[in-house]
Chains A and B, each alone.
Chain A
Amino acid sequence: NAGVTQTPKFQVLKTGQSMTLQCAQDMNHNSMYWYRQDPGMGLRLIYYSASEGTTDKGEVPNGYNVSRLNKREFSLRLESAAPSQTSVYFCASSEHRKNTEAFFGQGTRLTVV
């Protein structure tokens, strides 16, 4: 029962470095999400993908890019990391019909120094 798997769990970057956060789900869901969570700010949507090959900006997309490689995988890339991107990142997936919730990965704790 893997569900949603994120890698890595922890990462420290220097300002200006790049990296890609990986996310994969094995529930055959169409929709996938990337959120960031900062203290007192709740979950803020970075990018969303309603299906393979489609992506849409969320509330806080600046500084990020995404790729929906196939139905299972949805990656988040930081091209030039900034300290403001220090956060906990969650990937989630859902099936798009009434009453289906989002399932979350375990999160990636990213620190940019």
Chain B
Amino acid sequence: QKEVEQNSGPLSVPEGAIASLNCTYSDRGSQSFFWYRQYSGKSPELIMFIYSNGDKEDGRFTAQLNKASQYVSLLIRDSQPSDSATYLCAVNGMNRDDKIIFGKGTRLHILP
């Protein structure tokens, strides 16, 4: 069974600080990695995707991928109260019958 592991939190971070969210995955054949944000009562929405080792930056968000260690992380710089949400890590392979597998999510709380 392919697994994606996340710390459930809650992770509390002061406003303006850097929030660091981590995720590990079990399937070495995984090719695509996604971070979703989900506000309470809403659907998940994509924040970033990454598929190459290293860092990928988009505004205040940076995704980091290390395939050798099988982990992916999300950094949120200058954290804002509006960043308070659950962050879901998702992983997909490249085969036709591969499924997108989600972690259980990390609850992030930004302290004003």
Task: Give A contacts to B, CB under 8 Å.
Answer: 31, 33, 35, 40-43, 45, 48, 50-51, 56, 58-59, 90, 92, 94, 96, 98-102, 104-107
Contact = CB atoms under 8 A, between A and B. Distances in A.
Contact of B104 (A35, A42, A51, A106): A42
A37 B6 CA distance: 16
Interface of B: 1, 6, 8, 31-32, 34, 36, 42-46, 49, 51, 88, 90, 92, 94, 96-105
Contacts of B36: 101
A100 B97 CA distance: 15
- The dominant DSSP class at the A interface is loop
A98 B100 CA distance: 12
Given A40-B8, A42-B104, A101-B49, A106 B99 contact: no
Contacts of A105: 43
B51 A102 contact: no
